[in-house]
Amino acid sequence: MGKTTILGIGNLLLKDDGIGVRIIEYLKEIEFENTYDVELIDGGTCIPNLLDVFMTNEKIIVLDSIKGGHAPGTIYKLTPEELGTCIKETTSLHDVQVLDIMRDASLLGFDPKVVIIGVEPKEIIFDLELSPMIKETIPQITNIIEEELK
């Protein structure tokens, strides 16, 4: 299998919006990349600058908050096609940008397999800490990532 990257996106200043980046921090703490042959990237909020990630990987697992209208803490696992059919005004701007950058990579001849794992946020307000219930999803998301890598 080719190169795989786990890409966490989100804004650490906006509480639960930062879940993707917080998961990357957790995975680095437990040395996840030493157990699995993956690269961990904190993509922050600059998704348009990540085109090279979509051009140099066979598989990308994107981690982000997703407002899908379900209870806070709900975990979603979506393909880009599934995400594209449920885009609405409350969906994260990051997710729209991921679809845009995938389109750009495709136009350049690159087509990595992309899986999006998202968490329904409880609050997106100015705060540096995740909501406790959102933070509690990190081990479950780690298990989902491990299953996706098998």
Could you list the pLDDT tens digit for every one of the 150 residues in the chain? Answer: 579 999 999 999 999 999 999 999 999 999 999 999 999 999 988 887 899 999 999 999 999 998 888 999 999 999 888 876 655 544 454 556 788 888 889 899 999 999 999 999 999 999 999 999 999 999 999 999 999 998
* Residue 90 domain boundaries: 4-149
The CATH number covering residue 16 comes to 3.40.50.1450
The pLDDT of residue 110: 94
Q: Are residues 41 and 53 in contact, defined by beta-carbon separation less than 8 angstroms?
A: yes
Sign of CA dihedral 93, 95, 99, 104: positive
- From 118, 122, 49, 42, select the one nearest 87 (Cα to Cα): 118
- Residue for token pair 């389109």: 103
Confidence (pTM):
0.91
Total structural domains within the chain: 1
Would you give the DSSP letter of residue 138?
H
Q: How far apart are the first and last CA of the chain?
A: 11
Give pLDDT tens digits for 42-72.
998 888 789 999 999 999 999 999 888 899 9
